[in-house]
Amino acid sequence: MIEISFGKLVLLALIALIVLGPEKLPGAARTAGALLRRVRNGWDSVRAEVERELEVEEIRRTAREAAAQAEAVQKEVEAGVKQVREPLDEAVATMKSAGAPAVDAASGGAPESPAAPVADAVTGADEAQAQLPLGEPAAESVPQPAAREPESSHGRA
């Protein structure tokens, strides 16, 4: 920027006083101040706009980097799943070709076993409990304690 020392400022003021005269000098000073204010405000708004654009660009760059990292992690997870799934598929194919017992899809992939009727009975009891309102135990599952009379401490020493 232009450096204006006190001496140069006084010299400019004297030249303006001689050229404009004492009547027009205050008006010219106001006009020069308003012009300077407009230039400064314009410069500040341009600078603020450039800073905002830089911040937006930085946010976009960060978002692109995060998306790239997420994509890399997704590919890594997919590769891990594929690595686990291939031996599993091979094991299932081997079991099917060896004539293993049929797998029941409803039981979560476990082969049908003789314990299935027992599991159905337990599930039925759980369903009966689930139908009761909250806080009330099933009548057949919880025995009621015998009622006790409170002992009186009167008369005993």
Please give the pLDDT value at position 119.
47
pLDDT > 70: percent of the chain:
62
Instruction: State if pTM tops 0.75.
Output: no
pLDDT confidence tier of residue 105, bands split at 50, 70 and 90: very low
CA distances 109 to 16, 126, 151, Å, are 98, 22, 59
Summarised one tens digit per residue, pLDDT across range 49-92 is 999 999 999 999 999 999 999 999 999 999 999 999 999 999 99
